[in-house]
Amino acid sequence: MVAVSVLVLAFIALLIYGMTTSGTNDTIDERLDNGKAASAPGFELPVLSRGNPAGGGKATLLAALSDGRLELAELRGVPVVLNFWASWCPPCLEETPVLERAWRSFRDRGVAVVGLNMQDVTDDARGFLRAQKVTYPNVRDRSDGMARKWGVVALPETYFIDRRGNVVGHVIGALSKEQLEDGVRASIAGRPLGSLDGGDQRPTR
């Protein structure tokens, strides 16, 4: 009887563990699709490129980037567009001008655009940013930790985060100008937008 009780308790514990450790992306997208915001998974990553953090919550960005690392929590109070990308990803190249134009357009309204480079060679990533004349800040994840934490399985993916640190929108694939503008407005308003299908993607390696 004791052995049976132990087995039952172990099964229940495993069931609870499986439920509480389900994919982050599913949790974010499920909440968004139910009209609710999702708490943004935190990160602290080395800065790949500071860009030109004028506008975009200038004082907050400058302070956050000053030590060569960026912690997402340091941007609390600033609406954030977080874009996962890599230099080997053609759809990332396609959407980069859209992100750059949005940064230049919305930074005076206090919005920050942040690129998160992953599964890449550092020199290739920096060369990509120079070639595309990217002026928004970028960080680099040398592992797949942030991809797993956020649930990213292909590139590019973009998340819209409001001033309170909640994800209010997610575009899966290369985003359009309209999707980006809608996401920025949602992040400013703190209004859940949902998860949206974007354009082309490349599977993570």
* 155-193 tens-digit pLDDT: 999 999 999 999 999 999 999 999 999 999 999 999 999
The overall pTM is greater than 0.95: no
Distances (CA, A) of 162 to 75, 85, 110, 174, 185: 10, 21, 11, 21, 10
How many structural domains is the chain composed of?
1
- What is the predicted pLDDT for the residue at 20? 35
pLDDT per position as a tens digit, 60-76: 888 889 899 999 999 99
Evaluate whether residue 172 is within a structural domain: yes
Q: Cα–Cα distance between 61 and 17 in angstroms, integer?
A: 37
Domain region containing 186 = 23-203
Domain membership flag for residue 41: yes
Bridge partners, residue 195, by sequence: 170
Q: Tell whether 130 is covered by a domain.
A: yes
- Identify whether 5 is part of a domain: no
On whether residue 8 sits in a domain, the answer given is no
Distance of CA 7 to the CA centre of its chain: 40
Residue 95 sits in a domain whose CATH number is 3.40.30.10
User: Is 85 inside a domain boundary?
Assistant: yes
Q: Has residue 16 been placed in a domain?
A: no
